[in-house]
Amino acid sequence: MAIKLCCFPKDPLGDVETWSESVDKVLGCKAGQIAFREFLKSEYSEENILFWLACEEYKKIKTVPEMISSANRIYSEFVHSDAPRQINIDCGTRDNITKNISQPTLTSFDSAQKLIYSLMARDCYPRFLKSDIYHGLLRRTDSR
């Protein structure tokens, strides 16, 4: 699967070699996020990175009304038992978020985000490093 360069910011492939160091290197740059998302999409698990990114943005919220709105959006999109992009978390974590969603805090999704991060780091990331997507991007940087 080829990734279109138009999707990347300027000099998108400068950090590709560092992505093999850790999942944090992949998640820490926009090009890495895009490539990892494309890979997860090919594995039908794109909801993981979308949820993780939504949580990262959620933690930056400064106002209560915005927090409530964003918490409800994240909950209905990823956490609710009928969510269109339901993440794979244990029922205890899901129940705890459900119980507290009416009064969200900036840490409302932390436990679920940690679980999803762990899943991506342990399961998806090693497969990403073996993927055609990653190796194609490495070849592009080697040919520069």
Residue 15 lies in a domain: no
Residue 27 lies in a domain: yes
Work out the number of other CB atoms within 10 angstroms of the CB of residue 121. Answer: 15
Residue 3 lies in a domain: no
Residue 14 lies in a domain: no
Rounded CA separation 85/63 (Å): 26
Residue 10 lies in a domain: no
Q: For residue 88, give the CATH number of its domain.
A: 1.10.167.10
Residue 58 lies in a domain: yes
Q: What percent of the chain is modeled with pLDDT above 70?
A: 89
With both helix axes pointing from N to C terminus, report the angle between 30-42 and 46-58 in degrees, rounded to the nearest 10: 140
Residue 47 lies in a domain: yes
What is the per-residue DSSP string for 20-58? GT-HHHHHTSHHHHHHHHHHHHHTT-HHHHHHHHHHHHH
Residues in the chain: 144
Rounded CA separation 96/54 (Å): 19
Residue 12 lies in a domain: no
The domain total for the chain is: 1
**pLDDT attached to residue 15:** 83
The CA-atom distances, in angstroms, between 126 and each of 14, 74, 84, 99 are: 21, 27, 26, 34
Question: pTM for this structure?
Answer: 0.88
pLDDT, tens digit (0-9, with 9 covering 90-100), for 48-78: 999 999 999 999 999 999 999 999 999 999 9
Range of the domain at 57: 21-143
Query: Is the model's pLDDT at 8 over the cut of 90?
Result: no
